[in-house]
Each structure stands twice: as C-alpha cells, then as structure tokens.
Amino acid sequence: MKTNSSSWSPAHWRRHLETFGSDDNPVLVSGPRGEIEGMCNLGELTDQGRRSSQALGAYLRILYVDQLRFLPSIISDSEMVYLRATRIPRAIESLQETFWGMYPPHSRSKNFPPPAIILRAPTDETLNPNNGYCKRFAQLAQAFSRRSAERWNTSAELDYVNDLIGKWMPEDSQRVAIDSQPRLSGVLDTINSTLAHGSGTKLPKEFYDKKGMAIINRLVIEEWFSGYNESQEYRALGIGSLLGDVVSRMILSVEKNSKGKSCQLKRSDGTPSSINRSNATVKLGLSGCHDTTLAAILTSLGALKLETWPQFTSHIALELFRKDEESVSAAWKADEIPSPGGSAQHIRINDGIRQPFLPVEAMDKKRSVEKAPSIGRKKIDSLQPSARSKLDGYYVRILFNDQPVTVPGCKASGKHLDGDESFCTLESFKGIVDKFTPLHWKQDCWSNLNDPAFPVKPKPAGY
C-alpha cells in the first residue's frame, strides 16, 4: 500500500527456492543447466503448464467468441463469468492462464475489473474429491484402494512392472505395488510429468515400456476410480456436490432464458443454422480443478471408460442447448460451462463434430414466464408437472478433450436428441445426477462411519 494512501500498487519481486546441500548447508534450487530463476515448488505450474493452459484459453476464444459468437469479443461484464478454483497453486494458475488466453488484456474493456476467482475453505471444498476433510469418503477411498492392493500386488502384471523398474525402488520398499512407497500412482505421476517436459527430465527407458505403462495406467485407474463405477455413496461424496452445482446453474439458466433474448445464427456457408445462443447472466463458468475431478465426473456418469490417466491440461466441457420451438427449423440456445485443462496437442478447431456458425442480427422474442419457485436442487421426481415441463427442449452435451462422450442412461429413446445420443435431454441428465447429489454433503461426510464400505449390490454409474 502506498504511504498516506488507501490504494494498492503491484509489488515486483523475484523468488528463489532453497533446499539442503550435501552437508546440510542451505543451497539454491537449480535446473539441469544451473538456472535458478523460475524454479517451481511442489504443486505449482511449470512453464509448459502455463503455455498449454493459455493455449486452451486461446482455443476456447476461437470457438466461443470468433466462430460461434456466443461470447463477446470485448468483455466488460464481470458477472458474465464464474471463475472458481481449488486452493492448490497449480489449479489457480491454470485457471488464470486459461482466462488470460480467452480474454487477454486487449480484449477487456477499460471498465472491466480484475476478475474474481472463487475459493473455498478446505473443509468446504467439492471441486475435487475431498478425502482430506470428508471422513466417510476417505473411508471408502481407502477401502477401494486396499481392494486393488490385495488384488494386484502379487499379480503377474506387477511382476512384469517390477522386472522393468523395481531396481530403482528405495531399499525400504523394494517392490512396486499399489500401496508401495512411492505408490504406484506416484510412479505414474512422475512418468507422466517427465513425458510432458522434454529430454532434460527423462527417466531410464524402462519406465516408458509400452506394456508396462498400460498395466500401470489400468491398475491405478481401478484403484482411484472404480468406486465411482460401483457405489452411489462414493459418487455422492466424491463428486456429487459439484455436479449438483453444475446442474443447478443449468436450471438457473433455463429459468432466466425463459425471459431472455436470442440470437439467430448462420453457418459459414450462409445457410440458416439450427442453433441460437442465450443471453443468460452467467455465460461462462471455468473451474481450475484436477485430474481426479475430471475422471470422477466421467466415471460417475458412466460416460467414458478411461484407459490412461487424464493428461496434463485435459478438460471437460458441459454445454446446455435449447430447442427453439418458435423457429421453423430446429434451433438451439446454449450456455457453456467448461472445466479447464485440455491438452493443446488434442485440440482441433474444425473436427467435423462442431461446425462453425456466424451470427447475424439478434432478434427480440417475447416469452411469458410462469411465476413459480426456483427448481434449484430439487429432485426431478419431486417436481410438479408445470415445473418439470420447463426442462422440455433442453439438452446437455459433454466433451472430454473436445470429443463428445455419451451417458449410458441417455441412450434410450426419448432421452436424447433424435439422431445423436451425445445430446442428453436435460430432464434425463438431471435425473441421473440427482441420484448422487447429496442434500447435506458435510453432514453426509460424517455419517455411516460404521457401515461397510462396499455396496451390497453395485449400482452402475450413468443411470
């Protein structure tokens, strides 16, 4: 703060990291070429991570600003965006870089304030599976991890992995195992981080053996995410509150859209499009989260069987579309709520799945709005017909690293857009998410502590 002033100014400074030297004296942390500037601490984003996150933001700008014209090219309304991250530094930094890529300084109006990023206290965090403060979820996670350890630790699969890399394990934990030190998941983290950062970080070639990598990925994915596939309680405590928030935001958009404006769009060839984009207050939600968040969402919805751990800067987009019955041809409105992260090398602009649309002038449409209490997080089965009918004509699409995925419970006739199962009706999607959206997450985190961890009968995800 400036002297005799209530205004704040930036403080410019450099940071160096320090560690123990060979004789316990303090030494500066340095890189492979002796550099001391820009060293990353644990949990921070590397320069490569910053570049890929900013590239994701630039891609989202091309798609939603330049091609679809869903978002403005110059942002002036801070209420249009909802930014949230966990307290982990790399999650906040990924979110900052992604938003910067979408809206670099020249694309912000003079009156646009610094964007606010929403954080939660650790005890309230639901943006990633919270086994640190949700005791019941920690119990469940430990039980599923132990089951994987008992199943695989002495298996032929891990014998193969140990023949490859066991000689590099520490003396007090010489066999690579699900629950070794380092854990098998930690070994995978290290391998993946070296793959992303060039020759200067490479491990011995045995760590990159194709068969060995496939085994490690399969076993670690089972350890961490099989609970979401099998247990309703696991889904509810691990990711249910977050998905409940997303669906609630979609419902709020539905209710606001009933009295909003719409924009007629055209395809790049000049023909009328079938999509309209909405004027809801919050048009963009970005969340700086984690690989465990993305995998928990996908597995809880039964939308994708992961074969490899989500790569750095992976992302999920959840899009809400609306059929406009006033249009002669089928028309859509969409509110986009993406989760950040997508890997830059997986991003393609025109992949045949999304066609570019170009807008023409907006048209006002008067709509009558039934005055009724907000639907919010009310369960779909408890809604009166008049409230439930508000969801008619709305569809949800999920994209993982820009590829559409399908929720199995949306495949039945009448539960998706005719001709495309990846467009799930909002009513069906809400009904699926409702089943594992907790009403009192913090209370549930301290309930059932003496109950068995595994369900009597597994409840498949995505229905």
pLDDT tens-digit readout, 87-112? 999 999 999 999 999 999 999 999 99
Average pLDDT value for residue range 265-273: 43
Residue 23 has pLDDT above 80, yes or no: yes
Question: Can you say whether residue 352 is alpha, beta or left, with left for phi > 0 and alpha for psi between -120 and 50 degrees?
Answer: left
For the entire predicted model, the pTM comes to: 0.83
Predicted local distance difference test score (pLDDT) of residue 282: 83
Collect all residues with Cβ–Cβ distance below 8 Å to 373 and sequence separation of at least 6: none
Predicted local distance difference test score (pLDDT) of residue 39: 87
At 295, which amino acid appears? A
Terminal C-alpha separation, the chain: 55
Question: Can you say whether residue 215 is alpha, beta or left, with left for phi > 0 and alpha for psi between -120 and 50 degrees?
Answer: alpha
Identify whether the C-beta of residue 224 lies closer than 8 Å to the C-beta of residue 185. Answer: yes
Identify whether the C-beta of residue 263 lies closer than 8 Å to the C-beta of residue 362. Answer: yes
φ and ψ at residue 443, rounded to 5 degrees: -70, -40
Residue 3 has pLDDT above 70, yes or no: no
Cα gap 47→40, rounded to integer Å: 9
Residue 260 has pLDDT above 80, yes or no: no
Tokens of 134: 């949700």
pLDDT digits (tens, 9 = 90+) for 310-326: 999 999 999 998 886 65
Predicted local distance difference test score (pLDDT) of residue 213: 98
Predicted local distance difference test score (pLDDT) of residue 1: 58
Predicted local distance difference test score (pLDDT) of residue 283: 87
Average pLDDT over all residues of the chain: 85
Cα gap 172→177, rounded to integer Å: 13
Cα gap 126→411, rounded to integer Å: 29
Tokens of 346: 């997986």
pLDDT digits (tens, 9 = 90+) for 194-219: 999 888 889 999 999 999 999 999 99
pLDDT digits (tens, 9 = 90+) for 139-196: 999 999 999 999 999 999 999 999 999 999 998 888 999 999 999 999 999 999 999 9
Residue 22 has pLDDT above 60, yes or no: yes
Number of continuous H segments (helices) and E segments (strands) in the chain: 12, 14
345 burial level (CB within 10 Å; 0-12, 13-18, 19+): exposed
Predicted local distance difference test score (pLDDT) of residue 5: 67
Cα gap 107→100, rounded to integer Å: 10
Using the structure block, give the residue that is written with the tokens 């909405």. Answer: 278
φ and ψ at residue 15, rounded to 5 degrees: -125, 130
**Nearest CA among 248, 230, 226 for reference residue 437:** 248
Sheet with 262-267, edge to edge strand ranges = 277-278, 262-267, 357-363
Residue 361 has pLDDT above 50, yes or no: no
Residue 437 has pLDDT above 80, yes or no: yes
